[in-house]
Amino acid sequence: MLSVTKRSSWTDTLLSIFLFVLIIILYQYFAHQRHLLNPHDKLVPTFAQMLDAFTRSTFEPDRNGVYRLLDDTLASGQRVLISMVFVFGGVLMGAYMGLFPVMDKLFYKFFLFFDKIPALAILPILFIFFGLGEVSKVALIVIGVVPTIILDTYLRAKAFPQEQVIKAITMSASKSQIIFKIILPKIFPMALDSIRLNFKAIVLFLISGEALAATAGLGYRIFVVRRYMAMDIIISYVIWIGLLSYLIDAGICLWIKKQYRWYNK
Amino acid sequence: MTGKYILEVEGASQQYFDQSEKSFQVLNNINLQIREGEFVTIVGPTGCGKSTLLRMILGSERPSAGNVLMDQKPILKPDRNRGVVFQKYSLFDNLTVRQNVRIGLELENFSIFGNLLNTVFPGWKYEEYSTLVDEYLERVGLLQHGDKYPYQLSGGMRQRVAIAQAMIMKPKVLLMDEPFGALDAGTKDQMHAFMLEQWQQTGQTILFVTHDLEEAVYLGTRVIVLSQYYQGANGAKIVKDFNTPWPHPRDQSVKEEELFQDMIKTIRNQGLNSNYLLNQEEFDLSHADAIQLAS
């Protein structure tokens, strides 16, 4: 910190929300202007319309008696959750690769290559092999993100101070204890951090998968209503997706801060 | 004569390869025998391979020729019998002081069931260790800092935790690689007193590598000087091996004695100075266990 005097916290808060407020005001102004000219304008819905669309999809069941937002969020959430299992498996894989030279030799080049293939390019293959169902969509996320997570954890485990591993061995640690009691507890917050930063990619692959083939899901919905130019729904969904991602990010940050006090110190 | 030495190094040499694949000798034909309960300090000029020797005894490195034995059995890997304290990375920074001291006990008495139970009911299984852990924390004077993390400790406190962490396992041999190298003079003095006290209480065999001559003479019952400077040098050899005459417990006043100062001067002039050694045909290996090789 260069500044010696500390600014009061409310000015800081004001500064950090300034751009949000500015954008909202400008947007509302232009939307209002357009609606004055054409009351049926669909391109730039006002906030009242967006809120209306959002409440409709949240609290009113559609023709099939489904609460859309809840349904879409659950469908997408389930896909993300299943792929998270693989992501955490990737963390474990990376730790093993970092510690055991055989695993290192066997898998490193393989995952490095896989990491370079754009996952979206594999999507047609996935659709052909697994059909248009859930498997393809989860597989897309997994193929897109897990190699990165594996390589990241691998590098962390590789950089783990050898002295500490030796020390653990002098205290009669077995190989699996070194992984589970020495290395993983220490690199886990780093892994959480990299999962947090890669969450954007997870959402990206989720929406791509859903856009192409799905019957429910946040990404599916915005691509479906595009046909009716329902900007009010699209924008409210985009904000909802952004909000969810932000909350997950903040949640992981809080987890790291509470659970791993020694981290980043 | 064999049988009473806890550690034996027989003709051990070590070669490394540099970037251009050229080999260079670090240690040349090291012979060493150490009795149980000795406090051996190893000194030498920078790059003479004292840490390499320690790592060979630890087992994290194998000699390119020769053998390293513990209780007449070759040392192939680090194991439970030899504890270690490093200068850096000596503690697990994701664990509190208490957990750091306890981790060895946890690792040794590990059971999946116990570990699971402990995740569900924290502090259930580790109750039985707490008396012992507290005893060691008390001994290193850190009982009231038990719940702090290593980043909250000073350098001296960290090394004390590291020593407690190694000692609670009661290894037969304790290896220390410049453990106080990064500490300031005042803290160092405290650590020396502490170290001697611990050694007298436990009667452990300690191998202590340092570049500080005063530290070496003050702490050790036996001082070994390694040097790579001698005639036709090809890797470091033991150039001095002698007992220190002061009985334990020692205190700081020993350092004022003329003999102490002389001893340091002798090591500096004869062990670390290349001009002197280059003109020597034989080394001063006055220790009773030192191995005189006909050259």
A76 or B116: which leads in pLDDT: A76
Average pLDDT over residues A113-130: 89
Q: What percent of chain A has pLDDT over 70?
A: 97
Of B165, B55, B159, nearest to A171 (Cα)? Answer: B165
C-alpha distances in Å from residue A246, one per residue of A197, A206, A239, A251, B201:
11, 16, 10, 8, 57
Average pLDDT over residues B25-39: 88
| Phi, then psi, of A37 in degrees rounded to 5 | -75, -45
pLDDT at A91: 95
pLDDT at A8: 72
Tell me chain B's radius of gyration from C-alpha atoms: 20
Residue B87 lies in a domain: no
Is the pLDDT at B293 greater than 60, yes or no? no
Pairing of strands B65-70, B5-17: antiparallel
B271 or B5: which leads in pLDDT: B5
Contacts with A162 from chain B: Cβ below 8 Å: 60
Average pLDDT over residues A35-63: 85
Of B82, B94, B95, the CB nearest to A170: B82
Indicate if B200 and B260 belong to the same structural domain: yes
Contacts with A161 from chain B: Cβ below 8 Å: 88-89
Q: What is the DSSP letter of B254?
A: G
Strand partners, B177: B209
Contacts with A163 from chain B: Cβ below 8 Å: 86, 88-90
In this structure, how many other beta carbons lie within 10 angstroms of the beta carbon of residue B157? 19
| CB proximity B122 to A under 8 Å | no
- Amino acid (one-letter) located at A127: F
| CB proximity A35 to B under 8 Å | no
Residue B103 lies in a domain: yes
Last residue of a domain, one of B153, B170, B187: B170
CA B18 centroid distance within chain: 27
pLDDT at B295: 40
- Contact across the interface for A185 and B83, Cβ inside 8 Å: no
B142-174 per-position pLDDT tens digit: 889 999 999 999 888 898 899 899 989 989 999
Question: Residue B42 in 3-state DSSP?
Answer: strand
Give the pLDDT band of residue B3 (cuts 50, 70, 90): very low
Cα B50 to Cα B178: distance, rounded to the nearest angstrom: 10
- Amino acid (one-letter) located at B138: E
Element (H, E) at A80: helix A68-99
What burial class does residue A254 get, using C-beta atoms within 10 Å of its C-beta: 0-12 exposed, 13-18 middle, 19+ buried? exposed
Q: Which two tokens stand for residue A231?
A: 């900007």
Q: Nearest CA to CA, how far is B119 from chain A (Å)?
A: 13
Indicate if B200 and B69 belong to the same structural domain: yes
Contacts of residue A209, defined as CB under 8 A and 6 or more positions apart, other chains included, come to A79, A123, A136, A137, A140, A141, A219
Strand partners, B176: B85, B208
Residue A223 lies in a domain: no
Structurally, how many domains does chain A consist of? 1
User: In terms of residue numbers, what domain contains B43?
Assistant: 1-81+172-295
B3 or B198: which leads in pLDDT: B198
A158-176 per-position pLDDT tens digit: 999 999 999 999 998 888 8
Give the pLDDT band of residue B15 (cuts 50, 70, 90): confident
Q: What percent of chain B has pLDDT over 70?
A: 86
Q: Nearest CA to CA, how far is A156 from chain B (Å)?
A: 15
Indicate if B2 and B41 belong to the same structural domain: yes
C-alpha distances in Å from residue A51, one per residue of A76, A171, A217, A223, B88:
22, 61, 20, 19, 58
Residue A194 lies in a domain: yes
Question: Residue B14 in 3-state DSSP?
Answer: strand
CATH of the domain at A152: 1.10.3720.10
| CB proximity A165 to B under 8 Å | no
Residue B86 lies in a domain: no
Last residue of a domain, one of B135, B154, B170: B170
Residue A47 lies in a domain: no
| CB proximity B86 to A under 8 Å | yes
Strand partners, B225: B43, B240
- Contact across the interface for B86 and A172, Cβ inside 8 Å: no
B69-120 per-position pLDDT tens digit: 999 899 999 999 999 999 887 899 899 999 999 999 888 877 777 667 766 7
Last residue of a domain, one of B151, B170, B189: B170
Structurally, how many domains does chain B consist of? 2
Mean predicted lDDT score pLDDT of chain A: 89
A125-145 per-position pLDDT tens digit: 988 988 888 899 999 999 999
| CB proximity A260 to B under 8 Å | yes
Indicate if B153 and B192 belong to the same structural domain: no
Residue A130 lies in a domain: yes
- Contact across the interface for A263 and B149, Cβ inside 8 Å: no
Residue A10 lies in a domain: no
Cα A194 to Cα A198: distance, rounded to the nearest angstrom: 6
| CB proximity B58 to A under 8 Å | yes
pLDDT at A1: 46
What burial class does residue A104 get, using C-beta atoms within 10 Å of its C-beta: 0-12 exposed, 13-18 middle, 19+ buried? middle
pLDDT at B1: 39
Cα B90 to Cα B76: distance, rounded to the nearest angstrom: 22
Q: Nearest CA to CA, how far is A165 from chain B (Å)?
A: 10
B268-283 per-position pLDDT tens digit: 877 777 666 666 666 6
Cα B107 to Cα B140: distance, rounded to the nearest angstrom: 22
Cα B80 to Cα B100: distance, rounded to the nearest angstrom: 17
Is the pLDDT at B286 greater than 80, yes or no? no
Of the given ranges (A68-72, A86-90, B23-27), which has the lowest mean pLDDT?
B23-27
